[in-house]
Amino acid sequence: EVQLLESGGGLVQPGGSLRLSCAASGFTFNNYAMSWVRQAPGKGLEWVSAISGGVGSTYYADSVKGRFTISSDNSKNTLYLQMNSLRAEDTAVYYCAKYTLSSSSQYYFDYWGQGILVTVSS
């Protein structure tokens, strides 16, 4: 059974930093791409960042480029999101998601963690 468990959220002041972790189990972690998706309170879903399996190529939404860094530790089956220069608009529940390549060579998010709340406020 695939399980994704986020941790590391909390309250941080504007301009501060936070590192989220996502512990994965139930699948061969280094064979799959992983992603972070966030949801501001009462709002819709927003893709944040992704990292490919194997080579570990990284991708970012424009809204976080240059401030957030995605990484993974295959020895620990863990995904990370280092968030720097945080802003009030980064306040959201952050979901870790596994994503899988379909038969048409396109990706979709097939499993999601329960989410972790990050609040940026003074």
List of residues contacting other proteins (CB under 8 A) = 35, 37, 44-47, 50, 59, 61-62, 95, 102-104, 106-115
Q: How far is the CB of 44 from other proteins (least distance, A)?
A: 5
Q: Which residue number, 75 or 106, has a Cβ lying nearer to other proteins? A: 106
Q: Which residue number, 105 or 122, has a Cβ lying nearer to other proteins? A: 105
108 strand-pairing partners? 100
Q: Which residue number, 69 or 112, has a Cβ lying nearer to other proteins? A: 112
Q: How far is the CB of 61 from other proteins (least distance, A)?
A: 6
Contacts of 10 (CB under 8 A, 6+ apart): 18, 117, 118, 119
Q: Which residue number, 16 or 107, has a Cβ lying nearer to other proteins? A: 107
Q: How far is the CB of 80 from other proteins (least distance, A)?
A: 19
Q: How would you class 59 by CB atoms within 10 Å of its CB: exposed for 0-12, middle for 13-18, buried for 19 or more?
A: middle
Q: Which amino acid is residue 81, in one-letter code?
A: L
Rounded to an integer, what distance in angstroms lies between the CA atom of residue 48 and that of residue 81? Answer: 10
Q: How far is the CB of 117 from other proteins (least distance, A)?
A: 12
Half-sphere exposure at residue 95, Cβ-oriented, CA atoms within 13 angstroms = 18
